[in-house]
Structure 1
Amino acid sequence: MGEALIDLVPSADDAGTHRAQPGGAPANVAAGLARLGTSSWFAGALGGDGFARLIEERLVAAGTRLDLCGRSELPTALAVADPGPDGTGYHFHLHDTATFRMPERTADAARFGAVYAGGLAAVVPPAADAVAATARAGARHSVLVVDPNVREDRTLGGATGRRLRELCELAQVLKVSDEDVTALWPGTAPEETCARLASKDRLVVLTRGSAGSTAFTRDGGSLSVPAVRVEVVNTIGAGDAFMAAVIHWLGEAGAFRDGGAVRLSPGRVADLLAFASQVAATVVAQSGTEPSRPEPGRIATRVGAGAGSPG
């Protein structure tokens, strides 16, 4: 549940022009899940403009269902991407758009093995209340998976941190970047914060871009893997691909049943991180945000070599 919007990305051939690329972390995760082979439903909202049709075509082509998606004649939100050596920044055009006019889906949460929430819709009104209500239902009746996807932007207002911290602390499975943790819990080492969050009966995965990833478990243990080395073409959507891969792997492993996601053995945690890392690497190594499933033999090799996450 969350936003589907348009990323306006500078053209590789002409920095003065931008191309429209469907995005939004929740929509990326939904499409990524479907491409990996996990049935997914997108519970957001789509507008009545050409950008909305572009987003819908992308989700449908991936195999994502839109039965739970709200509709409006308002325009689609825009995120103007500003890639740099330390990652991609964004300037948002969000207000009075269809993107955040989504209904709550509390009655639907129990239908699914997992409910994902996060991104801008968790903090931008009027979507924020609907996301919070649906997330609470997901935590009660399903498995709530959260990626806060913190974005520094003045349009988000002062309640951003509080809302995102509350959402993170509802989750049974939490994926955060080091930047997310530093922004939401300043003054404490990211590892310390993640260990505390994991101790409250949840699986926490911390990503550090090119420095790899670490999983924290409820018994106080942690497992780190270095990053998969690829030639970087694009970083947009890498974290969302990693998130989709985590959800896909947990679903295939049956780990959403009976609290299995928080009881993984160290070896299974290593398998999870290695798979998610390889999937994210398929995005980093191309232009675009569509992940693909890595070859099984390559996953096994990378586990043995201690490979990890790029995003």
Structure 2
Amino acid sequence: MGEALIDLVPSADDPEIHRAQPGGAPANVAAGLARLGTPSWFAGALGCDGFARAIEARLTLAGTELGLCARPQLPTALAVADPGPDTTGYHFHLQDTATFRLTERAADVDRFAAVYVGGLAAVVEPAATAVAATARAAAESSLLVVDPNVREDRTLDPERSAHRLRELCSLAHVIKASDEDLVRLWPDTDPDATCRRLAEEGRLVVLTRGSRGATAYTRSAEPVSVPAVPVDVVNTIGAGDAFMAGVLNWLSTSGARREGGVDRLRRERLEEMLGFAARVAASVCAQTGTEPSLPARI
């Protein structure tokens, strides 16, 4: 549940030219899950312009169901990408767009094995209220997965945004966050200490560090780390969302949830999960675009 928008990405041939690429972390995760073979629904909002039609075509082609999408007669939000060597910054055009006119879905959550929330829709009204209500319901009847995916922009109130994202993390059964996310949400605490605290409260917590790999934390095992998969990097946009899709795909197909809960996974299972998700993320980094491919399970 969340935003589907358009990323305007500088062309590799001419940085002055930007190409329009469907994006938004929740939409990326939904499309990624479907491409990996896990049935997914996208609960967002699609507008009335050509960008919305491109987003719809992308999600439909991936195999994502759109029956929970709102259809307001408004334009699509834009995110102007500013890629760096390790991460990508954004400048947003969000106001008066269809993207954040989400419908609350609390009554629908028990239909699904997992509900994913986070990102811009979790902090931009009127979507934020709908996301919060849906997340509270999902925490009671489903597996609530949160990726805070913290964004900074002149149009966003950083303190209010951080408060909303911390509340979602407090409800979550699974948290996937980058080290940058955690520093922004808990600036006075080392990310490793934050992850240990969140895991001790009964969660599976996955910390991603880009090229430095990823670490999983639970209350029943010592943290488990894997390195990033070596790859000639073409693109980093969508890599974190591909990693998230890899984690969810693994949880849904490995039988892990029948082994006592996601917060009680054994060390070797955590290593298997992280390695698989890292290979999914690498499949995005090695190409243009944000569509992951299914790696062989090792």
CA distance in 1, matches of 2:125, 2:193: 31
How many residues were matched structurally?
A: 297
Letter in 1 for 2:140: R
Give 1:255 shift: 3.3
1:185 correspondence with 2:186: yes
Letter in 1 for 2:53: R
* Matched residue, 1:3: 3
1:70 correspondence with 2:70: yes
Unaligned segments of structure 2, at least 5 residues: none
Give 1:259 shift: 5.3
CA distance in 2, matches of 1:206, 1:253: 20
Give 1:220 shift: 5.5
SS at match of 2:8: strand
Question: In the superposition, relative to structure 1, how do residues 96 and 258 fare at CA in structure 2: closer, same or farther (>3 Å)?
Answer: farther
- Mapped contact 2:9–2:82 kept (Cα < 8 A): yes
SS at match of 2:15: coil
Task: Provide the identity percentage.
Answer: 71
- Mapped contact 1:119–1:150 kept (Cα < 8 A): yes
CA distance in 1, matches of 2:171, 2:20: 34
CA distance in 2, matches of 1:128, 1:260: 28
The aligned runs of 1:97-176 (5 Å cut-off) are: 97-157=97-157, 158-176=159-177
- Mapped contact 1:113–1:256 kept (Cα < 8 A): no
CA distance in 1, matches of 2:163, 2:259: 30
Give 1:257 shift: 5.2
Give 1:87 shift: 1.6
Give 1:15 shift: 1.0
CA distance in 1, matches of 2:187, 2:216: 20
- Mapped contact 1:254–1:260 kept (Cα < 8 A): no
Letter in 2 for 1:32: G
Letter in 2 for 1:209: G
* Matched residue, 1:36: 36
Question: Superposition RMSD on alpha carbons, in Å?
Answer: 1.1
CA distance in 2, matches of 1:261, 1:86: 30
TM-score, normalised to structure 1, is: 0.94
Letter in 1 for 2:113: G
* Matched residue, 2:53: 53
Unaligned segments of structure 1, at least 5 residues: 301-311
Letter in 2 for 1:93: H
The aligned runs of 1:232-251 (5 Å cut-off) are: 232-251=233-252
Give 1:69 shift: 0.5
CA distance in 2, matches of 1:239, 1:28: 10
Give 1:85 shift: 2.2
* Matched residue, 1:197: 198
Letter in 2 for 1:96: D
CA distance in 2, matches of 1:271, 1:255: 11
Question: In the superposition, relative to structure 1, how do residues 94 and 290 fare at CA in structure 2: closer, same or farther (>3 Å)?
Answer: same
- Mapped contact 1:181–1:193 kept (Cα < 8 A): yes
Deviates more, 1:102-111 or 1:148-157: 148-157
- Mapped contact 1:172–1:202 kept (Cα < 8 A): yes
CA distance in 2, matches of 1:219, 1:271: 17
- Mapped contact 1:198–1:220 kept (Cα < 8 A): no
Give 1:86 shift: 3.5
- State the Cα deviation string for residues 237-282 of structure 1 (Å, max 9, x = none): 0000000010110011233458521111100000000000000000
CA distance in 2, matches of 1:35, 1:19: 23
CA distance in 2, matches of 1:204, 1:131: 21
- Mapped contact 1:83–1:89 kept (Cα < 8 A): yes
- Mapped contact 1:5–1:24 kept (Cα < 8 A): yes
TM-score, normalised to structure 2, is: 0.98
Letter in 2 for 1:225: V
